[in-house]
Copies of this chain bind each other. A is one copy, B any other.
Amino acid sequence: MTTAAVPVAGSRTGKLGLDPAQVRRARELAAEVGRPVVDLARSHTTVAVERATLRLAGLNGADAEGIPWANRLVDAVRDQVGLEHGVCLPVWEALRGGGYRDLTDLAAHAATRTVPFRIPSGAASVRSEASARAAVARGIARIDERRREREELVARWGNPSGPWIYLIVATGDIHEDIRQARAAAQGGADVIAVIRSTGQSLLDYVPDGATREGYAGTYATQENFRLMRAALDETSAELGRYVRLTNYASGLCMPEIAALAGLERLDMMLNDSMYGILFRDINPVRTFVDQRFSRQLHARAGIVINTGEDNYLTTADAVDAAHTVTASQLLNEYFAKEAGLADGQLGLGHAFEIDPAVPDSFRLELAHALLARELFPDAPLKWMPPTRHMTGDVFHGYLLNGFFNLAGALTEQSILLVGMMTEAVVTPFLSDRDLALRNIRYVLDAAGGLAEDFHPAPDGLIARRAAHVLGEAVDLLGDIRGRGLLDAIAAGTFGGMRRPPAGGRGADGVVARADGYRNPAIDLLETT
């Protein structure tokens, strides 16, 4: 699979002398903590999961008000018969009966509340499910096709030789984004991430069409995905190097965006098991249900996920809370593997966020980064640059980013998100990005194989710190096992954010599955 090419540590570990028993214990605890949450995910559905299923079955587009047909249809079904059985049975039952041209036509009628939905039973149910399955299978086949396409293009154009250089564009206007993404790729970026507008994660629908009006980010829409991927394909061909595209499968529409990403051949996706809960105040159950389905889609699409542990360190202290990052990485790993993702798809996140005024801050960063590297030797770790301690002193910021890049090189991180010197000022300028690329190029080329000369003194500061953080993470997971993950989240364990299980946005979009719940997409993803 294409993701195998992401540089990972493989066998080059062992600089820290971590205790293997401790490492094993950490994973066992993570599994014990995660299991009940998976059970929760398997026994619920959400409006977003159902909409994503319809999108896989080919329901695109939006009405004149910009409300997607998928929303119209799911809302209508829910109004009439609820979602406990899933949207598919009533929808294909109606389609089979009613003389609608297609799903869109059905949705248009449903929006006017003229379609009588019902849950079929017996043979009708079997037939409806089979039709739904056939429709959804076409979407999944399309995802498979896009994945093969990626594999071919990567084979043709090749992968970057070193760590993947990851850059953000965030103008709010897909067309300016494209200009800037092209310039970034020409300047050496391997991965382009299109940041989303501030408000999107709380939208309970995916906007439609090309957009030019985002704030500090551009809406994630299928058309925007398509436009950017096409532009990057053109640039990739020009450069003879496959330039990857990333977006966010996060927020209230996590599974739908995951489906669209697979359909439009995005290559990586920000996707975290807890980010939405903690930083967007999205309902925890909603998030865990949506997350599992979105990850199953990512697994199928060959998409590398990027988790969001870096965010914890923007609100909590990077030294005090280092172990919460480790614990969360272990949880993200557990959830990801349960959903079918391979090691090579686990872009676990962590970050260079220690206050530069702390003595030995760089050595401590090395300790944290190396711990992640050695705990997850086969995962394409994603290393995030300083943000919190960046200031308006852009010169100092440029230097700090250089040391971030160096820590990345010394600890052999896989995906380097490149820091912008204007982090504390504005979303990046075109020139910030170009300067950042020059920064990382210098560091990677000048340091060359320096990792070879980096050997933390046994029992020195770095080794001691790494062992300490791992110990704290194990203790934390032990504690969480006792009280349950939802309770721990409510208590502010991660990022210092307290989020009760019943609170948060989107809770009303969660539905407990009935016994007769059917979702052919999940079936197909789990069995084919």
What distance in Å separates the Cβ of A359 from its nearest Cβ neighbour in chain B? 6
Q: What separation, in Å, do the CA atoms of A448 and B361 have in the docked complex?
A: 8
Set of chain B residues within 8 Å of A445, measured between Cβ atoms: 356-357, 359-361
With known contacts A439-B399, A448-B360, A456–B457 Cβ distance under 8 A: no
What are 6 A-B contacts defined by CB distance under 8 Å?
Answer: A359-B448, A360-B446, A398-B399, A399-B442, A399-B443, A448-B461
Chain B residue nearest to A448 in the complex (CB): B360
Q: Is A429 an interface residue (CB 8 A)?
A: no
Q: Which of A452, A453, A455 has the most CB of B within 10 A?
A: A453
> In the complex, A461 Cα to B453 Cα: how many Å?
9
Chain A contact patch, size range: 35 or more
Please report which residues of chain A, range 391-441, place their CB below 8 angstroms from some CB of chain B when the two chains form the complex: 393-396, 398-400, 402-403, 406, 421, 435, 438-439
> How close is A418's CB to chain B, nearest CB, in angstroms?
13
- Establish whether residues B362 and A446, one from each chain, have CB atoms under 8 Å apart when the complex forms: yes
Contact of A363 with B448 at beta-carbon distance under 8 Å, contacts A395-B395, A438-B396 already known: yes
Pick the 5 closest A-B CB pairs, nearest first: A360-B448, A362-B446, A399-B402, A361-B446, A452-B457
8 additional A-B pairs beyond A356-B442, A360-B447, beta carbons within 8 Å, are A361-B445, A363-B448, A395-B395, A395-B398, A395-B439, A396-B442, A402-B402, A449-B461
Q: Are A447 and B396 in contact (CB under 8 A)?
A: no
Q: How far is the CA of A442 from the CA of B404 in the complex (A)?
A: 13
Verify if A40 is at the interface (C-beta below 8 Å from B): no
Q: Is the interface of A mostly helix, strand, loop or mixed?
A: helix
A443 to B395, CA, bound (A): 14
| B363 near A396: Cβ-Cβ < 8 Å | no
Q: Which residues of B contact A457 (CB under 8 A)?
A: 452-453
The complex places the Cα of A452 from the Cα of B366 at a distance, in Å, of 13
When the two chains form the complex, which single residue of B360, B396, B446 contacts A449, counting CB atoms closer than 8 Å? B360
* Cβ distance A336 to chain B, nearest Cβ, rounded Å: 32
Q: Distance (Å) between the CB of A74 and the closest chain B CB?
A: 50
Check A5 for interface membership: any CB of B closer than 8 A. Answer: no
Q: Confirm or deny: A460 has a beta carbon within 8 angstroms of a beta carbon on chain B.
A: yes
Query: Are the CB atoms of B448 and A362 closer together than 8 Å?
Result: yes
A450 contacts B by Cβ under 8 Å: yes
Contacts of A453 in B (CB 8 A): 363, 366, 454-457, 460, 462
Is there contact, CB below 8 Å, between B454 and A454? yes
Bound-state Cα–Cα, A393 to B435, Å: 9
Shortest Cβ distance from A421 into B: residue = B395
Selected from B362, B395, B435, the residue in CB contact (under 8 A) with A447 is B362
Q: Which of A356, A362, A462 has the most CB of B within 10 A?
A: A362
How far apart sit A449 and B461, CA to CA, in the bound complex (Å)?
Answer: 9
Q: Smallest CB–CB gap between A429 and chain B, Å?
A: 12
> Could you say which of B357, B393, B406, B435 contacts A395, with CB atoms under 8 Å apart?
B435
Q: Which residue of B lies closest to A463 (CB)?
A: B453
Contact A447 B399 (CB under 8 A): no
Cβ distance A431 to chain B, nearest Cβ, rounded Å: 9
A439 and B356 CA atoms in complex are apart in Å by: 11
* Residues 372-398 of chain A, each 1 if its beta carbon lies under 8 Å from chain B, else 0: 000000000000000000000111101
- Closest chain-B Cβ to A365's Cβ sits at a distance in Å of 8
Q: Which residues of B contact A400 (CB under 8 A)?
A: 442
Determine the distance from Cα of A398 to Cα of B447 in the docked complex, in whole angstroms: 17
Rounded to whole angstroms, the CA-CA distance of A455 and B458 in the bound complex is 12
**In the assembled complex, which residues on chain B have CB atoms less than 8 Å from the CB atom of A439?**
395-396, 399
* Alpha-carbon gap, A447 to B363, bound state (A): 6
Shortest distance between the CB of A250 and any CB in chain B (Å) = 32
Q: Which B residue's beta carbon lies closest to that of A410?
A: B453
Contacts of A356 in B (CB 8 A): 442, 445-446
| Chain B residues within an 8 Å CB radius of A462 | 453
- Let me know if B449 and A363 touch, CB within 8 A: yes
Alpha-carbon distance A406/B399, docked complex (angstroms): 11
Which chain A residues numbered 447 to 495 have a C-beta less than 8 Å away from chain B? Answer: 447-450, 452-457, 460-462
